[in-house]
Amino acid sequence: MRRQLASATERFPIAGSFTISRGSKTEALVVTCRITEGGHTGSGECVPYPRYGESVDSVLSEIEAARPTIEAGIGRAELGRTMRAGAARNALDCALWDLEAKRAGTPAWRQICADEPQPLVTAYTISLGEPEAMAAQTALHAHRALLKVKVGTADDASRIRAVRAAAPDAPIILDANEGWTEETLARHLAICAEAGIALVEQPLPAGRDDALRHVERTVLVCADESVHLGADLAALTDRYDAINIKLDKAGGLTEALSMRDEARRLGLKVMVGCMVGSSLAMAPAVLLAQGADFVDLDGPLLLAQDREPALRYEGSLVFPPKASLWG
């Protein structure tokens, strides 16, 4: 039976709003792909990201352009050679992984993980705001095993100190989303060290991060916007201590697995992160994140309503997906 490809746009309201240094949003707008063959259907979800020049329309256009080769039976390796990395390829790649698992009747984790996957501690994100508001939000989640705090303003000292005071014992990741400058970098890193911050993500804009070569990195610094593919990694080792792998940046689980292995070979720590999406987008990332140094897969926790079936979350733990969701 010939393959059939279907794609759709779905909206998931965010509980409240989600704010980073580049702006706020109140819903997760995702694109879902479903590939059906031989009575089995594989599913994948992506989140178009304007920072990388993507929109829902552009991603749907890329998926539609790939339809002839997908329906002709293209595999994941060829998909990686014929489509650019990004959200569209991610949805298709993950749908192919899911389809392969369902056709074989074998869980996807058996191809991906050395051992049966286990629950993981995931970060929980605190949105950017005024220091008092961030402290109040942090206090509500101070019991969690890992917090990720959005910063990225000209003066984040008060924010860093406020969230640390609100959660004196919690491990904290800071994500500046390219919001710091060469002039503020050293001071902010010093304050991070003072506050016992575990990791700082992407303090400087991608392509303008040379200052990280020369500043004393008293806190682990992680590349996010500066890294998309495995080919990017070797050039980053003099500026970064870790990388954030996201399926939407890498263009799917296939490339992301190669990135993870290459990062480990180069001595870089691995963080597995996400855009704000539903459980379908997180499911393959949970398998990728087995053994990662940091995990940030809290997208569904930020939603007012997730899809069904959903991933299982208990406190700070996210559990591996069941086959009814993905894989």
118: number of Cβ within 10 Å: 12
pLDDT in tens, 251-303: 999 999 999 999 999 999 999 999 999 999 999 999 999 999 999 999 999 99
150 is catalytic: yes
Identify residue 80 by its one-letter amino acid code.
Answer: G
Alpha-carbon distance of 74 to 87, in angstroms, equals 18
Identify residue 287 by its one-letter amino acid code.
Answer: L
Q: Calculate the CA 236 to chain-centre distance.
A: 19
Return the pLDDT at 23: 73
25 is catalytic: no
- Choice among 25, 102, 148, 150 that is catalytic: 150
DSSP H or E stretch at residue 30: strand 23-37
> pTM for the complete prediction?
0.95
DSSP at 236: G
Token pair in block for residue 307: 């899809």
Q: Calculate the CA 277 to chain-centre distance.
A: 9
Reference 278, options 309, 304, 306; nearest CA is 306
Alpha-carbon distance of 303 to 246, in angstroms, equals 19
Quick one: pLDDT band at residue 1, thresholds 50, 70, 90? Answer: low
**CATH superfamily of the domain spanning 4-110:** Enolase-like, N-terminal domain (3.30.390.10)
Percent of the chain whose predicted confidence (pLDDT) is above 70: 99
Contact 143, 121 (CB under 8 A): no
Return the pLDDT at 21: 67
Helices (H), 34-75: 56-71
Check pLDDT > 90 for residue 2. no
Domain 112-318, what architecture?
Answer: Alpha-Beta Barrel (3.20)
- Choice among 102, 148, 246, 249 that is catalytic: 246
Listed by start position, the domains of the chain span 4-110, 112-318
Token pair in block for residue 87: 């959200």
Find the mean pLDDT for residues 106-113.
96
Token pair in block for residue 55: 């929109």
Return the pLDDT at 24: 77
pLDDT in tens, 110-147: 999 989 999 999 999 999 999 999 999 999 999 999 99
Quick one: pLDDT band at residue 15, thresholds 50, 70, 90? Answer: confident
